[in-house]
């Protein structure tokens, strides 16, 4: 064996040592899939749900995206007592749109949050302010984002799921609406970084630090939220939904995360660049995780999502050396990981609305974007956001 072969064998063995444990962890999560709670279906309310839910929506310059939410909330039935829109001094027509909705549905209420206190990030402050103004007789608090598009029956089905499963807090994974080629290619790869790190939606995590949540549709018992001080535990977090959910789980309450693709759509960002900038900066979840967990997740993502395609291409460029046993094992492992990746892409296809997308076929090529998606998580993990939704931060927790 010459020197080149020796080096290739050593590198192959090192990569196998990095990838094999990560592959085992990934498989241990994927085999839980058949036990997950099925996607929730739209349901009609029953009399005992009358006026049981207060909805709070934080807004800042959302005029271009909020209309589907306002229409969707107005179609929810008598289980919704009130819909409080907490606006942070929008400079566009967001308040006017909310006032117009209020003329048709008196459940809407517009309020402006107080100036941001030191140590708070804008979104959790707006949600906290809204929570403090909700009716105390409501049993449930429902936080929703301005970019969501709720179907009729969303709120009733969410509350009934929480009651049936005994959840104190439950949030949904939505169906994402795609429109442009770049996002069709990049966004599924970014979403996959979450699916690799956590159990499937519909599986209850036994460890509070591994709980997942989505603040776009976030239902919590009002008594529980009051007991933990509202959003105070997540006040400085750029992923306040996960931070708060994990804090609540650590207090012994039951937290769920289920598939809501049949009751909720989301149009998050316009194009690949905005997706890269805005969504990518919070996917590392560093504000909700200890540093050891962040580093562990970066290793896992690198091993099972970021490296396989690069390793396969490298192995194919070394065809004369493929008879080397370590290199053959390495190639086989990464072909296996690539097969898993395409299988997972098929499994999440229902989570994307590509009917009106230009270049929707690029969705099926999103595994090619995996190294870029993992790079985005690395960049985010080592960078504190300075701007969010048009708001500028002078420090990590000041706006």
Predicted pLDDT at 9: 81
Predicted pLDDT at 360: 94
Q: 187: which 2 tokens? A: 């966004």
In a domain, 193, yes or no: no
In a domain, 210, yes or no: yes
In a domain, 146, yes or no: yes
Q: What letter does residue 31 receive in the DSSP assignment?
A: T
Three-class SS state of 141: strand
Helix H or strand E segment including 352? strand 352-353
| Torsion angle of the four alpha carbons 36, 22, 306, 346, in this order, in degrees rounded to the nearest 10 | -30
Q: What is the mean pLDDT of residues 292-304?
A: 96
In a domain, 388, yes or no: no
Predicted pLDDT at 8: 79
> For the chain, what is the mean pLDDT?
91
> What band does 386 get if pLDDT is binned at 50, 70 and 90?
low
Predicted pLDDT at 395: 45
Q: How far apart are CA 345 and CA 200, in angstroms?
A: 13
Q: How far apart are CA 199 and CA 280, in angstroms?
A: 20
Three-class SS state of 87: strand
Q: CA nearest 154: which of 231, 223, 217, 224?
A: 217
In a domain, 100, yes or no: yes
Predicted pLDDT at 322: 61
Q: How far apart are CA 357 and CA 184, in angstroms?
A: 8
Q: How far apart are CA 396 and CA 383, in angstroms?
A: 10
Paired with 256 in beta bridges are 170
CATH number at residue 230: 3.90.550.10
Is the predicted pLDDT of residue 399 greater than 50, yes or no? no
Q: What is the mean pLDDT of residues 14-23?
A: 96
Range of the domain at 107: 47-177+199-267
Determine contact, residues 238/122, Cβ cutoff 8 Å.
Answer: no
Q: How far apart are CA 187 and CA 352, in angstroms?
A: 10
In this predicted structure, which of 21-30, 44-53, 68-77, 318-327 has the lowest mean pLDDT? 318-327
Determine contact, residues 244/234, Cβ cutoff 8 Å.
Answer: yes
In a domain, 316, yes or no: no
Stronger pLDDT, 206 or 337, i.e. the higher one? 337
**What is the residue whose two structure tokens read 């007789």?**
137
The torsion angles phi and psi of 181, rounded to 5 degrees, stand at: -55, -45
Over the stretch 152-194, which tens digit does the pLDDT of each residue have? Answer: 999 999 999 999 999 999 999 999 999 999 999 999 999 999 9
Over the stretch 339-360, which tens digit does the pLDDT of each residue have? Answer: 999 999 999 999 999 999 999 9
Predicted pLDDT at 320: 67
A 10 A CB-CB count for 28 gives 10
Over the stretch 206-245, which tens digit does the pLDDT of each residue have? Answer: 788 999 999 999 999 999 999 999 999 999 999 999 999 9
Q: What is the mean pLDDT of residues 259-277?
A: 93
Three-class SS state of 398: strand
Pairing between β-strand 148-150 and β-strand 217-221 as defined by DSSP bridges: unpaired
Q: What is the mean pLDDT of residues 52-70?
A: 96
Determine contact, residues 149/57, Cβ cutoff 8 Å.
Answer: no
Is the predicted pLDDT of residue 392 greater than 70, yes or no? no
Over the stretch 93-109, which tens digit does the pLDDT of each residue have? Answer: 999 999 999 999 999 99
The percent of residues above 70 in pLDDT, for the chain, comes to 94
Report the length, in residues, of the chain.
399
In a domain, 334, yes or no: no
Q: What is the mean pLDDT of residues 314-343?
A: 86
A 10 A CB-CB count for 35 gives 11
In a domain, 332, yes or no: no
Number of domains forming the structure of the chain: 1
Residues 6+ apart with CB under 8 A from 160: 43, 49
Q: What is the mean pLDDT of residues 284-309?
A: 94
Predicted pLDDT at 398: 37
In this predicted structure, which of 21-25, 180-184, 295-299, 328-332 has the lowest mean pLDDT? 328-332
Pairing between β-strand 264-266 and β-strand 175-177 as defined by DSSP bridges: parallel
| CA angle, residues 206, 209, 212, in degrees to nearest 5 | 80
């Amino acid at each position: 064996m010459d020197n080149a072969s020796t080096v290739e064998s050593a590198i192959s063995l090192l990569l196998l040592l990095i990838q094999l444990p990560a592959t085992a962890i990934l498989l241990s999560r994927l085999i839980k899939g058949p036990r997950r709670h099925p996607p929730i279906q739209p349901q009609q309310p029953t009399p005992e749900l009358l006026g049981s839910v207060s909805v709070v929506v934080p807004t800042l310059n959302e005029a271009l995206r909020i209309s589907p939410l306002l229409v969707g909330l107005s179609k929810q039935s008598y289980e919704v007592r009130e819909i409080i829109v907490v606006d942070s001094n929008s400079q566009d027509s967001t308040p006017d749109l909310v006032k117009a909705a209020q003329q048709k549905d008196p459940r809407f209420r517009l309020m402006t949050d107080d100036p941001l206190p030191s140590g708070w990030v804008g979104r959790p402050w707006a949600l906290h302010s809204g929570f403090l103004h909700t009716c105390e007789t409501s049993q449930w608090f429902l936080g929703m984002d301005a970019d969501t598009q709720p179907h009729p029956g969303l709120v009733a089905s969410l509350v009934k799921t929480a009651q049936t499963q005994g959840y104190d807090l439950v949030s949904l994974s939505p169906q994402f609406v795609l429109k442009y080629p770049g996002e069709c290619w990049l966004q599924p790869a970014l979403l996959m970084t979450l699916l690799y790190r956590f159990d499937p939606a519909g599986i209850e995590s036994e460890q509070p630090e591994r709980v997942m949540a989505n603040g776009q549709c976030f239902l919590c018992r009002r008594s529980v939220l009051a007991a933990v001080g509202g959003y105070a535990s997540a006040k400085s977090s750029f992923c306040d939904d996960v931070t708060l959910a994990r804090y609540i789980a650590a207090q012994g309450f039951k937290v769920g995360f289920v598939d809501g693709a049949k009751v909720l759509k989301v149009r998050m960002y316009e194009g690949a660049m905005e997706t890269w900038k805005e969504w990518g900066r919070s996917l590392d979840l560093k504000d909700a995780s200890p540093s050891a967990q962040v580093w562990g997740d970066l290793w896992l993502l690198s091993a099972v999502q970021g490296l396989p395609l690069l390793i396969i291409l490298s192995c194919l460029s070394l065809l004369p050396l493929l008879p080397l046993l370590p290199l053959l094992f390495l190639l086989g492992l990464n072909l296996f990981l690539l097969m898993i990746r395409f299988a997972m892409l098929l499994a999440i296809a229902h989570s994307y609305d590509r009917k009106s997308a230009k270049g929707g076929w690029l969705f099926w090529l999103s595994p090619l974007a995996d190294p870029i998606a993992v790079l985005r998580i690395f960049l985010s993990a080592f960078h504190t956001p300075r701007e969010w939704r048009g708001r500028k931060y002078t420090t990590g927790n000041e706006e």
